[in-house]
Amino acid sequence: MTAVATDAPVVIAPMRRRHLRGVVEIERQTNHRPWSHGLFAGELRMPTSRIYVVALVGSVVVGFGGVMLTTVEAHLTNVAVDPTQHRRGIGTRLMLVLMRGCIEREVDDVTLEVRLGNHAAQELYRRFGFAPGGIRPNYYADINEDALIMWAHDLRNDTTAARLATLESGLDGQLWTDGF
139 is known as an active-site residue? no
Phi, psi of 156 (to 5 degrees): -90, 65
- Nearest C-alpha neighbor of 74 from the set 122, 111, 44: 111
Q: 156: helix, coil or strand?
A: coil
The catalytically annotated residue of 27, 43, 125, 140 is 125
Residues in Cβ contact with 38 at an 8 Å cutoff, skipping those fewer than 6 apart: none
Given a contact cutoff of 8 angstroms between Cβ atoms, the answer to whether 32 and 140 are in contact is: yes
Q: Parallel, antiparallel, or unpaired for β 11-14 and 176-177? A: parallel
The catalytically annotated residue of 106, 113, 140, 145 is 113
- Name the residue type at position 98: L
113 is known as an active-site residue? yes
- Nearest C-alpha neighbor of 111 from the set 86, 142, 144, 136: 136
Kindly list the catalytic residues: 113, 125
